Copies of this chain bind each other. A is one copy, B any other.
Amino acid sequence: MTLVLSNDQVAQLLDIKDVIHTLEEGYRQAAAGQAILGSRADLNTITSHPESVYQLKSMSSVVPSLGVGAVRINSDILSYPTVEGKVRRQKVPLAPGNRWTGLVLLFSTETGEPLMIFPDGVMQRLRVAGTSALGAKYMARSNADTVALIGSGWQAGGQVIAISAIKNIKKFRVYSMTFQNCKVFCETMSPEIEVDMEPFGNVGDAVSRSDIVLCATNSNENVLLNDHVEPGMHISSIRDNEIALAAIRNANVTAMHDTKSMDFGNYESTHGLVIKDQEKEAGNDPRMNYLRSVPTLPDLITKKACGRVSDEQVTCFLNYRGLALQFAVCGALLYKRAKERKIGNALPTEWFTEDVLS
């Protein structure tokens, strides 16, 4: 049988500690040449919606030791509205019921068969936050206990849970563009994680005297500036432009999630469309050119590169580019648990296999 899981079932079966541990092990395998970090293709075309782009994104990875390969597919209508003077990328939920389309398909390396299909959203949040937490584990001061969080959306919530899973955090100082959202976020999350959370009206106040700064916004423009950064801080980002280049350059140690993934992938478009993120990846951006040379998270985990060497250093972790490896390793764990606990919709595997050679 091929299992079809929902996001709720993914959330029920995986917690952030599992994900962090699983990711760490996956990076070790990939660093040793035993797993494939991932391939990626982004195709952009017009759609009939004005000022919008259709994007079909696919990435894949294989981890033989876990017996799985994974393909993640995103099929999105993207728009780029300007909100309060800043350009934001927005995925428009146009599938029936105002929904988005993101899927992971998990395959067996032993039989080839499709083991499981599940939506990518919950795992995406776990893997992004888990990866940022791993960055902090290898780069932040060991006694860091105060976190500034920039952003109050879905990803920001994930960051709170993940950093709390690996560090003994005593206080969150939160800034987001709309103060009311920020306040509600703190009031909701603080009791959940049993840690004090305070909303701030500007970035500088939130960041000041924090040990770790986690940016988790939808902004396409700088939110953390060089002037905000203080000695000893660990700063971290999940989107290309959140941290100003000056702040990245001034950090004593900067690491990327992965640098190879900046160069791989097929970027194809019709009608002469150019997507900003991809122009950067294609090597036309000084920021990205600078980042090609920095160490990666797998380098830190396998001790090929060092994190900080003193409490005064500033460290910077850029968790920009996702890797299909993350879906493969977390997918393998998810599948194991779903089978054990008999969770998910079981469909006949024959629906997704065939008796003719292709």
A64 contacts B45, CB within 8 Å?
Answer: yes
Question: A109 contacts B45, CB within 8 Å?
Answer: yes
Could you tell me which residues of chain A, from 266 to 298, have a CB within 8 Å of some CB in chain B? 266, 268-272
A9 → chain B closest CB, angstroms: 11
Q: Confirm or deny: A352 has a beta carbon within 8 angstroms of a beta carbon on chain B.
A: yes
Which chain B residues lie closer than 8 Å to A265 at the CB level? 266
**Do B96 and A103 have beta carbons less than 8 Å apart?**
no
Contact B34 A60 (CB under 8 A): no
User: Quick one: closest B residue to A354, CB to CB?
Assistant: B119
Partner of A43, one of B33, B69, B73, B117: B69
- Whether B69 pairs with A56 at a CB distance below 8 angstroms is yes
- Cβ of A28 < 8 Å from any Cβ of B? no
Judge whether A122 and B356 touch: CB under 8 Å. Answer: yes
Q: Which of A87-137 contact B (CB under 8 A)?
A: 91, 93-103, 105, 107-114, 117, 119-122, 124-125
Bound-state Cα–Cα, A269 to B99, Å: 35
Flag whether A13 is at the interface (Cβ < 8 A).
no
Q: Name the residue of chain B whose CB is nearest to the CB of A121.
A: B356
Q: Give the complex CA separation of A122 and B358 in angstroms.
A: 7
Does A350 have its Cβ within 8 Å of any Cβ on chain B?
yes
Task: Please state if B71 and A56 are interface contacts (CB–CB under 8 Å).
Answer: yes
A54→B58 contact, CB < 8 A: no
Choice from B38, B101, B110, B112 contacting A48 with Cβ under 8 Å: B110
Give, as a whole number of angstroms, the nearest-CB distance from A335 to chain B.
14
Q: Which residues of B contact A54 (CB under 8 A)?
A: 62, 64, 69, 109-110, 112
Closest Cβ neighbor of A265 among chain B residues: B266
Q: Is A101 a contact partner of B112 (Cβ separation < 8 A)?
A: yes
A215-242 residues with Cβ-Cβ distance < 8 A to B are none
- Best-surrounded residue of A58, A75, A269 (most CB of chain B within 10 A): A75
CB <8 Å contact, B110 and A94: yes
- Tell whether, in the assembled complex, residue B268 and residue A266 are in contact, meaning their CB atoms are under 8 Å apart: no
Task: Quote the shortest CB–CB distance from A161 to chain B (angstroms).
Answer: 15
A100 cross-chain contacts in B, Cβ below 8 A = 112, 353-358
Please tell me which one of the listed residues B121, B153, B345 contacts residue A351 in the complex, with CB atoms under 8 A apart. Answer: B345
Shortest A154–chain B CB gap in Å is 5
B residues within 8 A CB of A41? 39-41, 58, 60, 266
Whether A91 contacts B357 by the Cβ 8 Å rule is yes
Contact of A353 among B97, B269, B345 (CB under 8 A): B97
From A77, A114, A264, A358, residue with most partner B Cβ within 10 Å? A358
Q: Which one of B7, B110, B351 lies within 8 Å of A354 (CB-CB)?
A: B7
Output the least CB separation between A75 and chain B (Å). 4
| A109 proximity list for chain B (CB < 8 A) | 45, 47, 54
What's the least CB distance linking A78 to chain B, in Å?
10
Known: A40-B41, A43-B61, A100-B356. 9 other contacts (CB 8 A): A6-B351, A43-B69, A64-B270, A97-B355, A99-B113, A99-B349, A119-B352, A120-B354, A266-B266
19 A-B residue contacts at CB 8 Å?
Answer: A7-B355, A33-B270, A34-B270, A39-B58, A48-B110, A49-B110, A54-B64, A58-B60, A71-B73, A75-B107, A75-B108, A77-B110, A96-B111, A96-B350, A97-B349, A99-B354, A100-B356, A100-B358, A101-B107
